[in-house]
Amino acid sequence: MTTYTLRPIGHVESTLTDRTAAPRQPDEGAPDAWLVFDDRYAPALEGLAPGTDILLLTWLDRADRDTLTVHPRGDATRPCTGVFTTRAPDRPNPIGLHTIHILSITDTRVHVRNLEALNATPILDIKPLLTPGG
């Protein structure tokens, strides 16, 4: 099958560096972090506003792409299920989806609240929040 090449547009700056210590969800203690975009993408950031929520798409570059089934939340007492029914990072195309709040923007650096992505995680895209049915 045809493959496609992702070109990251920036990266995450965070105090989170250890996958095993990272929170599984942002409401479980994720720190504030910076999204640092390559200068060439500055025009694409026009209109982003502090105080709003956005969808951040990342590439979970430390994920195992051969994993097809997992114990939900890593709990071995729960039965294995297909990765497509979970948010587990290990999956064939490990794209991370994060709903985050923009605190401030300085040029191509965006300060955000409670991001569970690890330091240096590549950034792929930003979109407006999903609306019902959208």
| In the complex, minimum distance from the CB of residue 52 to its own copies, in angstroms, rounded to a whole number | 9
| 78 φψ region: left (φ > 0), alpha (ψ -120 to 50), beta (else) | beta
Query: Exactly one of 19, 84, 104, 107 binds its own copies (CB under 8 A); which one?
Result: 84
Q: Does 126 engage in binding with its own copies (CB under 8 A)?
A: yes
**Per CB under 8 A, which of residues 23..52 are in contact with its own copies?**
25-27, 38, 41, 43-48
Residue 34, C-beta contacts closer than 8 angstroms, at least 6 positions apart: 12, 13, 14, 109, 110, 111, 112
The DSSP symbol for 127 reads E
Which residue, 2 or 77, is less far from its own copies as judged by CB? 2
Alpha helices per DSSP H over 9-91: 42-45
Is 10 buried (19+), middle (13-18) or exposed (0-12) by CB count in 10 A? buried
| In the complex, minimum distance from the CB of residue 11 to its own copies, in angstroms, rounded to a whole number | 8
Please report, as ranges, the residues that interact with its own copies according to CB under 8 A: 1-9, 25-27, 38, 41, 43-48, 54-55, 57, 59, 61, 65, 68-69, 80-87, 91-93, 95, 97, 99, 114, 122, 124-128, 130, 132-134
